[in-house]
Amino acid sequence: MAQHSSKGARFQAVTANRLNDGEVVYFKDNGWVEDFAEAEIADGLEAAEALLTRASPDNLEVFILDPYLFEVSESDNGFTPVSVRENIRAKGPTVRLDLGKQATAH
Amino acid sequence: MYRYDEFDHKIVTDRVNQFRGQVNRRINGEITEDAFKPLRLMNGVYLQLHAYMLRVAIPYGTLSSKQMRMQAHIARKYDRGYGHFTTRQNIQYNWPALDRIPDLLDELASVEMHAIQTSGNCIRNVTADQYAGAIADEIEDPRIISEIIRQWSTFHPEFSYLPRKFKIAVTGHKNDRAAIKLHDIGIVIVRNNQGEIGYEVHVGGGQGRSPFIAKKLADFVPAEKLLAYLEAVMRVYNMLGRRDNSYKARIKILVHETGEAEMRRLVEEEFSKIDSSQMLNLPEAELERIAAYFAPPNYESLPAQSDSFETAKQNNAEFSHWVKTNLVAHKTPGYGIVNISLKPIGGIPGDATDAQMDVIADLAERYALDEVRVTHEQNLVLPHVKLDDVKEVYDILSNHELATPNIGLISDSIACPGLDYCNLANARSIPLAQEISTHFADLDKQYDIGELKIKISGCINACGHHHVGHIGILGVDKKGTEFYQISLGGSADEKASLGDITGQAFTEDKVVDAVDTIVETYLDLRQPEERFLDTYRRVGMEPFKEQLYAD
């Protein structure tokens, strides 16, 4: 598994894929949303670990696959994922702008 | 073509029903993901970046028109209107929902297809020369033993939990189009001095993190002994292959660490045990029964030359260009082998839309004796087209963006799905293939450059075969940013070689310039008739390195 956050990462969010269709989802308020813009952002290491713990209840009823933390950075327009990989997950394939989340983005 | 017997039908439909139950239990929360994941992988279902991906097996790359039409239907009904043909002659769908995959597999089973042996540590779907049965000077159609190997290997209980995955490729022709020396086992069909057919067996080739060219362990395994010999290789591997480290678990590492001579001795020792029981001898009647499925189709008896074809070439320069690169001589007078490029300039290598797949299915049915082939270079083939019909086929292909005249040229690159889709990737591959083909779009330039195979992988697993690209490109991740390492001099044919890395990696925006520099250096240095690979092998890395890292 690739490294999704650098050691000194300040802001992080939690992502996973949904069981029934594999859709990329983000943790927010004890639930999951499809749009990265709505993802809950943790500030600092402790907050990040707490966020991941809340996102990873260990029971069969959870239909979310392999939640993990990834680094985001703050800019004028809010937060964006740091890595190319997480940007692609948040939007869709860069070679098919008609597919993935970017296709339905307003 | 091979047709399922009652056993094949039962195996495949039973498997779909089992998987339906497993999916239902997972979705209802009755089994955990840890329990479910190996089950879904055994049915070709991977989880990628955006969605699930289903890999469908196309045994030895052969499809009927009905099967191709089914791929179009699946792309439309269960996916987003396209499929992706892979370097293992398979097709992948990038967006199916898990809860609909059992229905999808049911539909596939109705045309004798499935996703078995497309994942997991088993013997995977067997690949073969895409010109099987159509090319002149072939010793035997490689699909005959490929089908026998398929039947022997499917759900083989002893080999269902190997140290790692296992890939077998077969060629029946001296010109290797199946990259057999880069497989766990590569088989070359040969004929001995007595005129008997047998098999040369190469073992321990592969790419990935530690690339190796296979070692020839046997010069001539008699036809009836092939399965006994393969079983001996598998048994040695299953016993001695490393299970402590997945990066060192392929048979190539075992062969490398054991040494060629000792490996041969171990295999022969095991082979003599198996052989003494005669249990695995292939009965001649069974060989003939399978061979009958691949008997030559009913060709018409035609003159070697077609007047209408010759006239069309003279009157249409574009058609004539396409013929030069995409049409290959057929063994039967009056026929040709048509290559369909899935590499339109600026397009995504290996992708075909549902509409294109329908068109290709129709062409196969009407003009190619009902067959389509998939190549490991991510193109398609209509193997038996009458020269009289070639122009008509070309016109229809042209109308559907399927007549790019670039087979074997610089714009015909292999690219893995890369970071645009793949969960394992470190960098994107497809955009580079698109940029390179756009940069070299000019056909005269491409012809001048001649044969040049670019192969691009988005990670060290090497699904894009970068180690054996004349120019290989490997994506690497440096702190979340994409970089690309370039190698030169690789080749996947009968004179297989692994590429040499040029040096420091390039940022994405410098890769096309680097490829351009490599091409210009070759054009400066080449002697008459030399292809890129010939020049590289003559002059070596230095002149290229000098130009690439001049600053």
Domain assignment present for B518? yes
Domain assignment present for B411? no
| Residues in B touching A83 (Cβ below 8 Å) | 480
Domain assignment present for B298? no
Q: What one-character-per-residue DSSP string does B271-325 give?
A: HHHHHHHTTTPPPHHHHHHHHHHTSPP------SS-HHHHHHHHH-HHHHHHHHH
B33/A21 CB distance under 8 A: no
* pTM assigned to the model: 0.96
Q: Which residues of chain B are under the pLDDT cut of 70?
A: none
**B453 and B351 in a common domain:** no
Which amino acid appears at position B74 of this protein?
A: I
Mapped onto helix, strand or coil, the DSSP state of residue B92 is: strand
Number of domains in chain B: 4
* Residue where the block lists tokens 């680094």: A71
Task: Find, in chain A, the residue whose alpha carbon is nearest to that of B478.
Answer: A83
**B339 and B365 in a common domain:** yes
Reported as a single tens digit per residue, the pLDDT across B337-379 is 999 999 999 999 999 999 999 999 999 999 999 999 999 999 9
In 3D space, the residue among B377, B368, B246, B386 whose CA is nearest the CA of residue B308 turns out to be B386
ipTM, 2 dp = 0.95
Quote the pLDDT of residue B278: 87
| Residues in B touching A21 (Cβ below 8 Å) | 51-52, 97-99
Which amino acid appears at position B262 of this protein?
A: E
Domain assignment present for B406? no
B52 at interface of A, judged by CB pairs closer than 8 A:
yes
Identify the CATH number of the domain in which residue B330 sits: 3.90.480.20
In this structure, what token pair is assigned to residue B395?
A: 């016109």
**B431 and B384 in a common domain:** no
What is the CB-side half-sphere exposure of residue B304 using CA atoms within 13 A? 2
Q: What one-character-per-residue DSSP string does B485-530 give?
A: EEEE--B-STT-BPPEE-SS-EEHHHHHHHHHHHHHHHHHHPPTT-
Mapped onto helix, strand or coil, the DSSP state of residue B220 is: strand
Q: How many CB atoms sit inside 10 A of residue B322's CB?
A: 26
Chain centroid offset of residue B222 CA: 26
Q: Where are the domains of chain A?
A: 11-104
Sequence-separated (6 or more) residues with CB below 8 Å from residue A16: A24, A25, A27, A32, A55, A64, A65, A66, A67, A68
Task: Find, in chain B, the residue whose alpha carbon is nearest to that of A91.
Answer: B50
**B225 and B155 in a common domain:** yes
Mutant choice from A15, A63, A85 vs B, greatest count of B C-beta within 10 A: A85
**B200 and B281 in a common domain:** yes
A93/B427 CB distance under 8 A: no
Domain assignment present for B299? no
Identify the CATH number of the domain in which residue B491 sits: 3.30.413.10
Residues in chain A: 106
Within B31-175, strands assigned E span 45-47, 52-56, 62-64, 82-85, 91-93, 127-128, 168-171
Domain assignment present for B541? yes
- Alpha carbon of A80: minimum distance to chain B alpha carbons (Å): 13
B489 at interface of A, judged by CB pairs closer than 8 A:
no
Least CB-CB distance to A84: which of B98, B99, B480? B480
**B281 and B211 in a common domain:** yes
**B286 and B146 in a common domain:** yes
Alpha carbons A87 and B121: distance in angstroms, whole number: 32
Domain assignment present for B114? no
A31 at interface of B, judged by CB pairs closer than 8 A:
no
Quote the pLDDT of residue A86: 97
A99 at interface of B, judged by CB pairs closer than 8 A:
yes
Reported as a single tens digit per residue, the pLDDT across B270-299 is 999 999 988 889 999 999 999 999 999 999
Residue A8 — pLDDT band, cuts 50, 70, 90?
confident
Mapped onto helix, strand or coil, the DSSP state of residue B359 is: helix
Quote the pLDDT of residue A1: 41
**B147 and B54 in a common domain:** no
Task: Find, in chain A, the residue whose alpha carbon is nearest to that of B47.
Answer: A22
| Residues in B touching A66 (Cβ below 8 Å) | 33
Mutant choice from B39, B46, B50, B84 vs A, greatest count of A C-beta within 10 A: B50
Expressed as residue numbers, the domain containing B478 is 417-548
In 3D space, the residue among A36, A37, A48 whose CA is nearest the CA of residue A89 turns out to be A36
**B280 and B148 in a common domain:** yes
* Residue where the block lists tokens 């013929």: B323
Domain assignment present for B130? no
Alpha carbons B355 and B73: distance in angstroms, whole number: 9
B27/A19 CB distance under 8 A: yes
B98/A21 CB distance under 8 A: yes
Q: Where are the alpha helices (DSSP H) in B340-400?
A: 354-367, 387-399
Alpha carbons B29 and B289: distance in angstroms, whole number: 47
- Alpha carbon of B255: minimum distance to chain A alpha carbons (Å): 28
**B493 and B539 in a common domain:** yes
Reported as a single tens digit per residue, the pLDDT across A60-105 is 557 899 999 999 999 888 999 999 999 999 999 999 999 999 997 5
| Residues in B touching A82 (Cβ below 8 Å) | 480
Least CB-CB distance to A22: which of B31, B51, B426? B51
Burial of B304 (0-12, 13-18, 19+ CB in 10 A): exposed
| Residues in A touching B32 (Cβ below 8 Å) | 60
**B486 and B375 in a common domain:** no
